[in-house]
Structure 1
Amino acid sequence: MIDLKKHTNIALGYFLLAGLLGIFLRSFFVTSIPANFRHVVHAHSHIALLGWVYLGLNTLIYKMYFSETDQGKTYRRIFWFTQVTLLGMLFTFPFTGYAALSITFSTLFLFASYLFTWFALKKTPLAYKRTYSFKCIKASLWYLVFSSIGPWALGGIMATLGKTSIWYKMAIYFYLHFQYNGWFLLALCGIFLYFLERKDLQLSKRSFQNFFKLLNAAVILSFFLSVLWVEPHWIYYVLGAIGAGLQIWAFVVFFRMIKPFWKEAVPDFSPFVKFLLKLVGITLVVKLLMQLFSAHPYFAEIAFMYKDLVIGYLHWVFLGMVSIALFAFLKAANLLKFSKPDFWIYLAGFILSEALIFYKGVSIWLELPFFNDYFKVLLTVSSLLPLSIGLMLARNLRKI
């Protein structure tokens, strides 16, 4: 039998490493460091997205559909193969950047993700395949596979057009879009619906179908928001705006669908877990509004010119919506234990660092005064994030 609590701790360990790498990156602006900044950025982003989020979602999906089956042996092999690829990236990217070894390990990770997708789609018991939660999980896994077109394209682009080509950035944005808005978002929706279905709560079939169709259309069309930085034909702005609008509409339908059952889900969602999910809802609403604004040519240009605004958005979704949702679901599934003070430290680090990142972007944009110790303050408040994650990990390791 697989000990999913240990797998959760491994995922949390990667989150801690990603946080420490983030602090290391902040230190570049405070003191002289004999290392390559871009190489560390690659390690930081890969371990954050593929170590923490990917493994966290995989662990929950296995818990949901396979914990009472005999598929542990296959899953275990896929899991440890994935660890080889993650450790390979962790120990190559900081020193080499995109080079032979790091590309090899990142390519092997893609194969590991394909294996997990095959495993989940093929081996999930038939009874679960009829559920709304699995429909969301199934779609999310296909977006996971679809997003990999970006990394596959990077090799050819680097070999022929180089890193300065617009297609290089386009491939990265393609990957990030379908990870954030496809794989992450639909997987989290599926996990949430699973908890409702476990209580035999009957969701409206019509409402779910409307939500599902709207959200999938939004995922595809909102990709065009990622191409506006090249100032394309006006039709791309329209398509991106439609995608952003459909995503808002989809979640209006979703919130209306689940509202009648919110109180009935209390047995699985403690008051604190419900508080965490409310925070997730707030961060989701802000994300949706930022996407809608970015469809306007003026704001699209600003986002491209001032990278801190893009960095702030990506961290808002990753540290806010996605990570807090994972905390909530892992806690509800009894795979993660942490105290309220542990989370208050995390929340303080998240809010303060986001405020400072957006402050810098807005200050440069509007030519406002910029205080001298900004980078030292940002380094200090950002340190709260790995501190809180370290406390959570230490608490969990004691409970194994």
Structure 2
Amino acid sequence: MKSGLHKWFYWGIVNLAIVALYGAVMRYKIAFHFPFFEQKNLLHAHSHFAFNGWTSHILYCGLTAFLARHIAAAPFKKYKILLGLNLICSFGMLFSFTIQGYKATSITFSTLSIALAVTYALFFFKDQKHLPINDAVKPWWKAALLLNVLSSAGPFALAYLMITHIPDQQIYLGSIYFYLHFQYSGWFFFGSVAMIVSHLNGHLPTFKKHFTLFAITVIPTFFLSLLWTRLPPWLYFVTAAATILQLAAWISLLVKAASIARKIRTTAAPSWINWFFYAAGLALTLKFVLQAISVIPSVSQLVFGFRPIIIAYLHLVLLGVYSLFFIGLLISRKIIRPTSTAKVAAFSFLSGVLLNELLLGLQGLAAFAYRPIPFINEMLFGAALLLLASAMGLVIAQFNCKKNTKRSRPTIR
């Protein structure tokens, strides 16, 4: 890793703690009385910062670290500038959404973050000539960046509805689901796999088939979010077929990756870190299984009608899949040193994710029967506090790592 790049990864863990802080505040407002700040504004700030300041920031850092192996120092500086600008936009959205909600300032920062995504993609496609022709990582990063840009059509559609004052609920929901799908199943998924492939590069000659399957199914599976609109029969068939194919591709990829990982396993990182990769893999498998089940129209309509189910699914993916994967990766590559503090904080975070999902799942099931669960909001606040304390523990471990970087440099690849 080029000198100074590791500090950008450090910012990611700080941002995770901020995301957890906002989650705890929102849960407190639901369970108890807290008159300050609008809940809707906090939600917008929380979600935008989680996407841009945490997940996207780590992916941009991973891509920049990958490019650092092949690009000279002078052209490489522009990527560091983009990382800094992305952080500025992330904090700009965090504060402006918190204070004002959807106003000119927050919309400006949101638009600038989209412009940065486009700029990063353009730089990458221009500089890919410096990369090895047969590098197995390139297709995954290219698809991730393109899908990140594609997802921006969702926010632009929402902005159009707000400007024109058109009260179209289907377009409104469709725009939100479009953005979420191409972030979760596009930019986040392809980018995360790219980071894995980068780590295992040279051992993955057959992953091209899996990439092709995921690439051709990522657009059709978006229509899973629109089954409640009564799609034409042919489009429903294509959507269902793509969903099943995607599940099969994931299972095949998981089996092959596990086999390769066993063959090249090293003792560079403690074995306990593998639990985070196992948990992330299990959560992603559950995501694909739930997608396959949702091809049943009656199930899809039922699920999308209950807010707790939607929230549980979103947290399953963002926390259970990507956050756990990033935590495991950062510790395994010694961005965060695998100290006892980091171990306790990381496993506490894993416990918080499990508890949060369990409570949200129970809340969703109870909603089907229209029966409230006593003290569910207080328990969810407790889970949020656990996540916050764990993330703060990782921040402490992170700065302990920073003090020791002269003795042992992080090695993200």
Q: Deviations over 1:90-109 (max 9, x none)?
A: 11101211111100110011
8 A Cα contact 1:57 1:326, kept in partner: no
| Farther off after superposition, 378-387 or 229-238 | 229-238
**TM-score, normalising length: structure 2:** 0.90
Aligned residue number for residue 62 of structure 1: 64
8 A Cα contact 1:214 1:249, kept in partner: no
Aligned residue number for residue 30 of structure 1: 31
User: Displacement, 1:10?
Assistant: 1.1
Aligned residue number for residue 366 of structure 1: 369
8 A Cα contact 1:247 1:288, kept in partner: yes
User: Displacement, 1:346?
Assistant: 0.5
User: Displacement, 1:67?
Assistant: 4.7
CA gap of 1:163–1:316, structure 2 versus 1, over 3 A, is farther
What 5-or-longer segments of structure 1 have no aligned partner?
A: none
Indicate which of 63, 86, 91 corresponds to 2:90: 86
User: Displacement, 1:287?
Assistant: 0.6
Aligned residue number for residue 292 of structure 2: 292
3-state SS, counterpart of residue 305 of structure 1: coil
| Farther off after superposition, 20-29 or 70-79 | 70-79
CA distance in 2, matches of 1:49, 1:248: 24
CA gap of 1:141–1:274, structure 2 versus 1, over 3 A, is same
Aligned residue number for residue 12 of structure 2: 11
| Farther off after superposition, 25-34 or 356-365 | 25-34
Q: Deviations over 1:7-57 (max 9, x none)?
A: 112111111111111111111222223221111110000000110001111
Q: Does 1:41 align with 2:43?
A: yes
Aligned residue number for residue 230 of structure 1: 229
Q: How does 1:1-400 map to 2 (within 5 A)?
A: 2-34=3-35, 35-67=37-69, 69-70=72-73, 71-124=75-128, 126-162=130-166, 165-197=169-201, 200-201=202-203, 203-204=204-205, 207-267=206-266, 270-338=270-338, 339-368=342-371, 370-400=372-402
| Farther off after superposition, 218-227 or 157-166 | 157-166
The one-letter code matched in structure 1 to 2:248 is W
Q: Deviations over 1:316-359 (max 9, x none)?
A: 01001111111122223322235221111101111111111111
CA RMSD of aligned residues (A): 1.9
8 A Cα contact 2:336 2:401, kept in partner: no
CA distance in 2, matches of 1:293, 1:127: 40
CA distance in 1, matches of 2:164, 2:234: 29
3-state SS, counterpart of residue 49 of structure 1: helix
3-state SS, counterpart of residue 218 of structure 2: helix
Matched residues, number: 394
User: Displacement, 1:85?
Assistant: 1.2
CA gap of 1:216–1:232, structure 2 versus 1, over 3 A, is same
8 A Cα contact 2:57 2:87, kept in partner: no
User: Displacement, 1:381?
Assistant: 1.7
User: Displacement, 1:216?
Assistant: 1.1
3-state SS, counterpart of residue 29 of structure 1: helix
The one-letter code matched in structure 2 to 1:26 is R
CA gap of 1:11–1:377, structure 2 versus 1, over 3 A, is same
The one-letter code matched in structure 2 to 1:120 is F
User: Displacement, 1:263?
Assistant: 1.8
User: Displacement, 1:124?
Assistant: 4.1
What 5-or-longer segments of structure 2 have no aligned partner?
A: 403-413
3-state SS, counterpart of residue 92 of structure 1: helix
CA distance in 1, matches of 2:10, 2:273: 19
CA distance in 1, matches of 2:264, 2:65: 18
User: Displacement, 1:233?
Assistant: 3.4
CA gap of 1:269–1:192, structure 2 versus 1, over 3 A, is farther
8 A Cα contact 2:60 2:83, kept in partner: no
CA distance in 2, matches of 1:289, 1:127: 36
The one-letter code matched in structure 2 to 1:81 is L
8 A Cα contact 2:45 2:93, kept in partner: yes
CA distance in 2, matches of 1:153, 1:15: 28
User: Displacement, 1:269?
Assistant: 5.7
8 A Cα contact 1:162 1:168, kept in partner: no
| Farther off after superposition, 304-313 or 259-268 | 259-268
CA distance in 1, matches of 2:168, 2:279: 39
CA gap of 1:60–1:278, structure 2 versus 1, over 3 A, is same
CA distance in 2, matches of 1:332, 1:62: 18
8 A Cα contact 1:237 1:297, kept in partner: no
CA distance in 1, matches of 2:163, 2:400: 49
Q: Deviations over 1:105-141 (max 9, x none)?
A: 1001111111222222322463445212221111111
The one-letter code matched in structure 1 to 2:398 is N
CA distance in 2, matches of 1:158, 1:229: 23
CA distance in 2, matches of 1:310, 1:170: 14
CA distance in 2, matches of 1:253, 1:374: 38
